[in-house]
Amino acid sequence: MVQFYKSVLVALGLFSVAHSSLIDIDLDLDLSTDNGCCPQRNEASRKEWGELTPSQRIDYTDAVLCMQKQPQHLPREEFPGVRNRFDDFVATHINYTLHVHYSGLFLPWHRHFLWLWETALRDECGYTGHLPYWDWPKWDNDLAASPLFDCSESSLSGDGEYNPGEQSIQGGSQTLPPGTGGGCVRCGPFKDMELHLGPFSRNLASTTEIPAPGFDYNPRCFNRSLNNFVSSNYNNETIVDRLLSSTDIIDFQTVMDHWPPRPDGVLGPHGGGHFSLGATLQDLFASPQDPAFMLHHAMIDRLWSIWQNKDAKNRNAINGTNAILNPPTGKLVTLDMEMEFGVLDRPRTIGEAMDPTKDGYCYSYT
Ligand SMILES: [Cu+2]
């Protein structure tokens, strides 16, 4: 996938992050206060997974399993692979993948997507907690020993069964070693989970149309492969510190998606998290099928909000276009550009998603 992006970047002549084709937007909003406008409920605090008690963690995974038992809202005829409410979120992600990755929509679209997920868990499955996050550097050397992936009843399940046929991963100029699993997950709360959508090839044939298998129904087991090489190289403390000291949104987005922080960097911490858990989370389109997806993106959202708050006046900015890899044909993002969420929500402007402490969201991270 990364190899593919690199060649597309070269083909599009975007190899040197074309500042001129990107846009910076500044808004004079104070992100450091909630302006007292969160009247509907107390401000939600999103916590690190290991900070939750085991029973709070089980409340979260129970709510995820509950979503997999609720009826879908998307029509079965058009979306045969969507079998439940959880799949509504997966299919919505597939539907907008070519707009909301490696683009100006990446950060705000995923911020709102996570909030819709958290809200659905609470409203539709009686979850009383908030969305936890995966603090990558805390566990980057030994994923299997972390409370996230130790396969206990209070984890998000763990490694898949060992599959000797597990392939190494091509990440830019680097060949990343395969992980330790590769087969079906057989322990923890998601041991019986079935994936319905995807898999999508990592060699995308087109960047303008959703490729095969689209929304086809393809039931199979939930596959994982823990990869400490990837997490320790691309999700370590040094990279997180570097991300938080980014000088502007262009720098922030470059570090997030490319490490070393150049457009030809192999993987940033965004890709690193995806590639740390094997095929299900690596799937650019259908990755929300791994229950760790929302916690990985909550960490991205957390770091974005921490970074924004360090210089609130100047960091209410977003950068890029509304198309994957910011091709010249993409539309430059603006704060009043609308983002779509299909059946999950009405369209929202980018500006609406810029401040998590504002009325409507009212959350912060510990
Ligand atoms: Cu995504």
Residues 240-252 pLDDT 10s: 999 999 999 999 9
Structure tokens at 107: 């950060």
Residues 146-188 pLDDT 10s: 999 999 999 999 999 999 888 888 766 678 999 999 999 999 9
* Range with the poorest average pLDDT among 4-13, 72-81, 124-133, 150-159: 4-13
CA 228 to chain centre: 19
Tell how far the Cα of 93 is from the centroid of ligand 1, in angstroms.
Answer: 6
Of 3 and 273, the structure prediction assigns the larger pLDDT to 273
Which pLDDT score is estimated for 101? Answer: 94
What is the share, in percent, of the chain residues with pLDDT greater than 70?
Answer: 86
- What CA–CA distances, in Å, run from 301 to 113, 134, 318, 329? 11, 11, 14, 27
* Range with the poorest average pLDDT among 37-41, 106-110, 130-134, 361-365: 37-41
Tell how far the Cα of 3 is from the centroid of ligand 1, in angstroms.
Answer: 18
Q: What is the pTM for the complete model shown?
A: 0.90
Does the structure show a pLDDT above 50 at 225?
yes
Tell how far the Cα of 133 is from the centroid of ligand 1, in angstroms.
Answer: 15
Tell how far the Cα of 171 is from the centroid of ligand 1, in angstroms.
Answer: 18
Which pLDDT score is estimated for 266? Answer: 80
Tell how far the Cα of 228 is from the centroid of ligand 1, in angstroms.
Answer: 22
Does the structure show a pLDDT above 70 at 366?
yes
At 189, which CATH number?
1.10.1280.10
* Residue 203's pLDDT band (cuts 50, 70, 90): low
What is the share, in percent, of the chain residues with pLDDT greater than 90?
Answer: 77
Structural domain tally of the chain? 1
Which pLDDT score is estimated for 9? Answer: 35
Which domain covers residue 236, as residue numbers? 2-365
* Residue 264's pLDDT band (cuts 50, 70, 90): confident
Tell how far the Cα of 204 is from the centroid of ligand 1, in angstroms.
Answer: 15
Angle at 130 between CA 79 and CA 70, to 5 degrees: 30
Does the structure show a pLDDT above 60 at 6?
no
Q: What is the pLDDT of the chain when averaged over all its residues?
A: 88
Tell how far the Cα of 17 is from the centroid of ligand 1, in angstroms.
Answer: 21
